[in-house]
Structure 1
Amino acid sequence: MPVSPKIYHGNSTPSPDAELAALIDAHPKPSSLSEYSYGTAGFRYEASLLPCVFVRMGIFAALRSASLGGEEVGAMITASHNAEPDNGMKLADSHGGMLDAAWEEHAVSLANAPDSQHALALIHTLLSQHTSTGDGGNSSKKKLPKMVVHIGRDTRSHSLPLAALVIRASRAMGATVIDHGEVTTPQLHHFVMHANGHMLPSIIPQRCNESGYCEIMAMSYAALLRTGSVGGKGNVGKQRLHSTSTLVIDGACGIGALKINQFQHIFEKLRAEGCTVGLPTLHTVNFPGDGPLNDKCGAEYVQKQQLPPRLYTPSSKGAVSKRYMTSFDGDADRIVFHFEDEAGKFHLLDGDKIAVLVSSFIQDELRCIDPEGKAVKCGVVQTAYANGSSTLYLKNVVKTNVVIAKTGVKFVHAAAHHHFDVGVYFEANGHGTVLFGPKFYDFISAADAKLRGTSRHNRANIALRRLRVLPALVNQSVGDAMSDMMLVDAILFLRGWDLSTWSKLYSDMPSKQAKVKVADRSIITTNENETAAVAPAALQIALQAAMDDMISQESSGNGPKPRCFVRPSGTEDAVRVYAEANTQKGADTLAYEAMMLIYKLCGGVGAPPQPLITNRL
C-alpha cells in the first residue's frame, strides 16, 4: 500500500556555509573521474562515483527552488534501465518536466567545482543572480526564499544512502524536503507537477501523493473503459477479447513491479462495487529480488534485443500467458508491448507502434466532434530512431503531422509542446506521453457547451467523455509506463483489438543498432535532428554512397527507403549507428559498412568492427 511521505524541515544555523562546506569536503570528487557530465536525463555513473555529485545536487535542487520563488522541485535517484551497479539522478523542474536547459549548465558547474571554496562561490553567485536575497547572495546574511525539494528513489541497494546525502544537503541549504521513499520516476515527476497546483488545468484534479496518483489514474482508466459499454459505432460492448483478459507485466525486477499491485487493489475495489467494464486481470512478474535489475528483462532489453524477457518470478505464482505482455524498465518510465503467436514467434510493439495507436485514437475521437479537424492541431514527434514504416503510416494513413526532433526525451518533449495542441511522442525505446495544450482544453469546454443535453449515446458525446479523461490518465510531466499501459489497454479494448491486430497495422523495416568506440567522439557532429553527419564531411558522403548502393540492391517501391545515420554518444567516447533496410541482412550490412567508415575516418580504437549477423526467434 502507498506510504505517506516523510517531511524534513530545513536546518536553521547561524552559519549555513560552514555546514555546506563540511558536507562538500566530506565527499570530494573522485580522482578517477575527470569530469561529471549531464546526459539527456541527468547524471548517471557507477554508484561509488556519485556521493560527491549527490551532495552538490541536494544543494542545487534547493537553489533551483529558491530561484523559482519557492516553487517545488524534485530529485529522483535512479539509473533507469542501467544495470544494478549504476545509479544517477534525474532533476524535475517545478512544472514536473525535466530541468531547464540553462540550469543544466549550472548543475554541471557545481558538480565539477574542485573544492568547497569554489562550490560555495558558485552557490552565492547563483543566489545573487537568480534570487532576491541581497547582500551578494550570501545565505548567512539574509533569509532565503522558501525552498521545497521532493525526493524519490528506485530499488537499488545504494539508492537509500545516496538519497540520504541529498536530503542532508538540501536541508543544510534550509530547504524543506519531502521524501517519498521508493517510487517510480514518473510518480516523482507527478508529485512535483501537482505540488505546484497553479500549473494544472482545472480538468486535472490535484493529487500530490502516491495514493492520489494511483486513484486519479485508475479512476480515469476505468472511466475510459466504461465508454465502451455505450452503444454506437466503434464500441465493443462489455466483453473483452479472451486474449486480452489477462495482462502480464514484466517489472524488470524493479520498482514498477511493486507499484502496479496498488492498481490491482483499486481494481478489486471497483469490481466489488460492480464496476467491471473492461478491467483486465494484471499478472506481474519480475519483482525486485526475483532476479538482477534490468538483466535479460525489462523494456530496454526487450526493445534493443527484440527478444522476450526472462521470467524470474517463481512459477508457483501462476502460469504465465505470453499472448498479452508488456515490459517496464527499471524506474518504470518506459514501456513496450509484446506477444508470442500460436507458432511461438515473438512480436514486439515498441514506442513507434504505441505512437501510431495513441495518435490515431485521439484524432478519431476529435474528428467525431470536429469533422474538419481544424480546431486542434495534433501531431507526433519522433526521433531519427523511429522506424521508417511508422513515419509513413502516420503521414499517409493516420494523416497527422510528424516532426523529427533530436534524440532524447527532453528534446522530443519540448518539440511536442512547441508544435502541437495535442502532441504525442514516443521514442522507439518506449518512453513517451501525450501533451495537451491550452487550445485542447478550450476545445473541450466548447464541446461540452455544444453537446450539453444531447443523448449519452451520441457519438460526439462519447468522444467528449473519452477525451475529457485523457489528461488525467496520461502523465503530463514525463513518460510513465503505468499510465501508458492503461491508456494502450483501454484503446485496445475500445477498438476490440488484441496485440496481433495492432501489430498488423504496418510492418517494421528491419533495423540494426550498433556502436563504435573512438578516441574522441567530439570530432563527429550532426545536423539538428541527427539524421545526417556534418563533420567529418567525408563520413556523410561515404554513408550516402552506402545507402544509395543498398537502395539499388533492394527495390522498395513506394515504401520507406534504406537509411543509416550515426551520432556521437552522449555518455561515452563512442559513435552510435542505426540502419534500416528492406531485409535484416541488408540492415546488418549497412550498419557494418557505417561502423567501418567510422572506424577508419573518426579514429576508431581497438580491433576493427566485425560483420554483423542478427539472429531472431
Structure 2
Amino acid sequence: MAGDQQLSLLLDSAVRFPLPNGLRFSYGTSGFRSDGSVLASTVHRSGIVAALRSLKTRSTAGLVITASHNPVCDNGVKIADPDGSMMDQSWEPFANAIANAPDPNSLAQLVLQFAKDEKIPLGGAQSAEVLLARDTRPTGEALLEAAKQGISSIIGAVAIDMGVLTTPELHWMVRNWNKGTRATESDYFAQISKSFRSLMELAPNENLNLNAVEKKLIVDGANGVGGAKLEEIKKNIIGLEIDVRNTGKEGEGLLNEGCGADFVQKEKFAPSGFCSDDLGIRCASLDGDADRLVFFRLIPNTNNKIELVDGDKILSLFAIFIQEQLSLLEELPARLGVIQTAYANGAATDYLRNLGLEVIFTPTGVKYLHEKALEYDIGLYFEANGHGTVLFSKEFLSQLELVNSELTSKMPGSEKQRAASRLVAVTQLINQAVGDALSGLFLVEAILHNKGWSFQKWCDLYQDLPSRQLKVKVADRTAIETADAETRVVKPSALQELIDTETAKYTHGRCFVRPSGTEDVVRIYAEAATQDSADSLANSVAQHVNSILGSDIKA
C-alpha cells in the first residue's frame, strides 16, 4: 500500500516539472548548473535526491540553489551531506540519471529501484529532513518551490526553508544541525565574531598598534548575498574597519558583472566601485555566493590594475600560522597536510615544501581536495580561485581541547598556552564544512594581525611564476585521459612525450593538459620563468593537441 502511495506521489509531482526538450544535465563539483529558466525539473528532482539522502543517512541533508560566480541569468543546485560537505560522490550517477529521466514514469521507477538497491525505507515511520537555502538570483524563488515539491514527493520528507543564505552558511547549518548544536544564522554570525575577537586578543602586544591603513579593509561583495551578510557580521567586529561595496543594492550593479572574486582573479583588475582613492588599502573580493575569496591592492598609475593575493597565498598564510603554533606544542603531535591541484602556482608549491610541509595533489575539483584533506589530523586545501578551508580531525580536536585545558590550568599566559588557544580559535573561526569566504576573510585578518604583517609582507612570501591558460575546442574531450592528479596524459599515448619535449625547452617550465569537466574542450596550463616563455609553451602544446585531435584553439 505504501509503495502505491509513493509511486502516486512521485508521478503527480513529476508531471508538474517536465524535462526540457533536448537538454542533458550533469552533476559536477558544483552540482547542476544551467540557465535558470530551464532548471525547474532538475531542482525538483534534486529535492527528491536530497530527501533520499536524508533517509539513507538517517540525518538531515541540505540543498542550496545557487550558481556561485556565474552570470545572474544562470542558476544551479547542489546537495549537502549530513556532515556539511558535498554530496557523496557515489550518489552522483543516480543524481545524473534522475535529472535526465525522460518522463514521470521513468523517474518514478528509477527512484523506487534505487531505494530498493540502497535499502532506503520508503513509506515507513522514518522521516526525512532537508534544509533549503538560495542566493539572490531572480530565478531562485521559483526554483526553491520546485525543490520543496520534490522533497514532499517522498513520503515523510520535510523541507525547512532557511531563507536567503550564502552557500557556506547552508553547509555550516547542516553540519551543526546534525551535531545537535545551535545552527541559526545568528549563531553563525556570533561564532565568527566571537572566535575572531578571541584570535585578535591573542596577538602579541607589540602588534596592537597597527596604523589606520592596516586596520581598514575594503570588501567587494560581488553584488551577491555575501555583501549583505558581511554588513551584519561587521556590526560585532572590533579592531577592524570594514567598508563593504557591491552589496547588491539597487544601482550598484549586477551579480558577478565586473566584480567578484572570479573576475578579480582572472582579469587582474579592480572590481567596479573601486578607484584611485583606494590606493594603499587592503581589499578583498567575494564571489556571488561567498564561497570564494581573494585579496588585492590597487597598483598606482595603472588604470585599476591590481596586485593579487589568490588562494595559493591564502593557503600559505594559513599553513605558516598553524605550523608555527604546532611547533610550540610538542605535546600535540599532528600530521599536517597541504592539498593542491595542478593549477596551483609552482612557486607556491615550492614555497610550502621548503617549509617542510607535506604537499599532495588531487584532480581538479573541491570534492577531491576535501576528501584528501580528511586523511590528515589537519588538512588544508585551497584552489588558486580562492575556494578552500582547513579541516581538523575529531581526534585532533579532542587532543587540542585537552592540551589547551591543561596549559590554561598550569601555565596560563605562557606562549605555549596562547599557541593552543590560538589553534582553538582557528578551529572555531574557519568553516570546516566547506570553503567559506566570510570565515576565511576574518581568519586572514586575524593571522595578519597576530603576525604583525603588512599586505606587502604577505605579497612578498614568494613571486608567482608567470602562467598561461588556453583551451582547445574538440569534438570529444574524453579522447584525452590523464593520471597522477591530471598532470600526465596517458591517452593519446604520444601526447605526453610531446608535452615533455616542449616543457624541457623552458626554465621552470611546467605544463599539463586535461579534459574539461563541463565543456567539450581540452584545457592547457603552462608555467615558465617569463610570461613570453609561458605563452610560447602553452601555444606549442595547444598546437600538438590540435594536430592530434583536430580542434580550434581558444584563449
Q: TM-score range by the shorter chain?
A: over 0.9
Segment of structure 1 superposing worse, 420-429 or 445-454:
445-454
SS at match of 2:379: strand
Query: Could you say if the C-alpha distance between residues 14 and 266 of structure 1 is closer, same or farther in structure 2, counting changes exceeding 3 Å?
Result: farther
1:527-606 matched pairs, under 5 angstroms: 527-551=483-507, 561-605=508-552
Check whether the contact 1:520–1:603 (CA below 8 A) recurs between aligned residues: no
2:199 is matched with which residue?
224
Q: TM-score, normalised by structure 2?
A: 0.95
Structure 1: how far apart are the matches of 2:446 and 2:301?
A: 27
Equivalent residue number for residue 287 of structure 1: 247
Matched, 1:246 2:216: yes
Shift of 1:260: 0.4
* More off after superposition, 526-535 vs 421-430: 526-535
1:427 and 1:453, CA in 2 relative to 1: closer, same or farther beyond 3 A? same
Partners of 1:452 and 1:482 in 2: how far apart? 29
Task: Determine helix, strand or coil for the equivalent of 1:570.
Answer: coil
Answer yes or no: is the 8 Å Cα contact 1:539–1:598 preserved in 2: yes
1:326-361 residue CA offsets vs partner (Å, 9 max, x unmatched): 001111000000012556662100010011100010
Q: 1:132 to 1:108 in 2, by over 3 A?
A: closer
TM superposition shift of 1:594: 2.0
1:455 CA drift (Å): 4.5
> Out of 287, 293, 305, which is 1:335 matched to?
293
In 2, the alpha carbon distance for the partners of 1:247 and 1:529 equals 36
Which of 129, 153, 157 pairs up with 1:175?
157
**Distance of 1:68 and 1:49 partners within structure 2:** 30
- Find out whether 1:213 has 2:213 as its counterpart: no
Contact 2:404 2:421 in 1 (8 A): no
- 1:513 to 2:501 alignment: no
Q: 1:54 and 1:446 mapped to 2: Cα distance?
A: 45
What's the CA shift for 1:448?
2.7
- Identify unmatched segments of 5+ residues in structure 2: none
Q: 1:188 aligns with which of 170, 179, 191?
A: 170
Match of 1:86 in 2: 74
**Residue 496 of structure 1: CA displacement?**
0.9
Determine the C-alpha separation between the residues in 2 that align with 1:284 and 1:321.
Answer: 16
Q: Does 2:430 correspond to 1:474?
A: yes
Which residue does the alignment assign to 1:203? none
1:47-446, aligned counterparts within 5 Å?
Answer: 47-69=36-58, 71-131=59-119, 133=121, 139=122, 142-143=123-124, 145-173=126-154, 174-197=156-179, 206-228=181-203, 231=205, 236-267=206-237, 276=238, 279-288=239-248, 289=250, 290-311=252-273, 320=278, 323-341=281-299, 346-370=306-330, 375-396=333-354, 398-418=355-375, 420-446=376-402
The runs of 5 or more residues in structure 1 that have no matched partner are 1-11, 134-138, 199-205, 268-275, 552-560, 613-617
Partner secondary structure for residue 109 of structure 2:
helix
Whole-angstrom CA distance in 2 between matches of 1:462 and 1:304: 39
Structure 1 residue 450, shift from structure 2 partner: 4.0
Q: Given the superposition, is the C-alpha separation of residues 342 and 501 from structure 1 closer, same or farther in structure 2, using an over 3 Å criterion? A: farther
Displacement, 1:320? Answer: 4.4
**What is the CA–CA distance in structure 2 between the aligned matches of 1:93 and 1:217, rounded to whole Å?**
22
State how far apart, in whole Å, the 1-side matches of 2:176 and 2:398 are. Answer: 21
Distance 1:152 1:600 in 2: 47
Cα separation, 2, equivalents of 1:166 and 1:241: 49
- 3-state DSSP class of the match of 1:15? helix
How high is the sequence identity, in percent, across the aligned residues? 38
Q: Which residue of 2 aligns with 1:522?
A: 478
Pick one of 37, 46, 62 that aligns with 2:35: 46
Which whole-Å CA distance do the structure 2 matches of 1:321 and 1:191 have between them? 38
Aligned partner letter, 2:527: E
Deviation at 1:18, TM superposition (A): 2.5
Helix, strand or coil at the partner of 1:516 = strand
Give the residue type in structure 1 aligned to 2:261. A
Distance in 2 of aligned mates of 1:400 and 1:343: 39
Aligned residues: 549
| Corresponding residue for residue 447 of structure 1 | 403
Contact 2:279–2:299 (CA under 8 A) maintained in structure 1: no
Q: Secondary structure at the match of 2:374?
A: helix
